[in-house]
Amino acid sequence: MNKLIRVFLVLLLSSNFLFAQDFKVKAAGTQTFNFADERGRNHVSFFSTMPLEDITGTASGVSGTVTFDPASFAKTLKGKISVKVVSMNTGIELRNQHLRGPNWFNAEKYPDITFEIKSVSNVKAMGENKLEFKVKGDFTFHGVTKEITIDAEAAYLEENEQTQKRAPGDILGVRAKFNVKLSDYNVDNQLIGNKVAEDIEVGVNIVGSNKF
């Protein structure tokens, strides 16, 4: 009987952990995390397939903030993240010029790619103060705004000697993945005479601090 009770308690505690939807941290009330990083360590990656060569690139011009109450993450998460088109780099300067030019992403006319959070759903605990969730928001690219849903995860690290090496204050690490269909944003899938895939794979890996 005692063994059965112990098993029941373990299952109960495990279920509470698995279905927890908030961060268990000391910080109370609304927290604001800033993702601006002068060192350029925050980045967004993108990948596209071409007939003769795949394109892999990154963009380091990341900025923006998110706010939320750690004790009520899904209900309170708000914010906007921006990426500078001029910071996009494919490793080949001529290709970068075409990418940022008027016939493709047009960095001069549309300098920023943005995502503004509208709602959060399907929050799951993946570890200590690490959440996996879906976030819906307005994605603006090449002058077109569309509502999309992104798979994301966030890890909340309270300030310690290790995190201080990256930034002061508590740290929020965010990862996300989603696809962008070029024709949805009035972008022709031609780059230097070659067709690229209609769908661009996008990855986000950014870290923000609540002390800035």
Q: How does strand 88-89 pair with strand 62-68?
A: unpaired
Cα 161 to chain centroid distance, Å, stands at: 25
Instruction: Return the CATH architecture of domain 22-209.
Output: Beta Barrel (2.40)
Q: pLDDT category, 193, cuts 50, 70, 90? A: low
Q: pLDDT category, 53, cuts 50, 70, 90? A: confident
The conformation of residue 199, written as its DSSP 8-state character, comes to: E
Q: pLDDT category, 37, cuts 50, 70, 90? A: confident
- Entry pTM: 0.86
Largest CA distance in the chain: 74
Please count the CA atoms within 13 angstroms of the CA of 154 that sit on its side-chain side: 23
Question: 169, 159 in Cβ contact below 8 A?
Answer: yes
Name which residue leads in pLDDT, 125 or 2: 125
Q: What is d(CA 205, CA 209) in angstroms, rounded to the nearest whole number?
A: 14
Kindly state the percentage of the chain with pLDDT values over 90: 72
Going from N- to C-terminal start, the domains of the chain cover 22-209
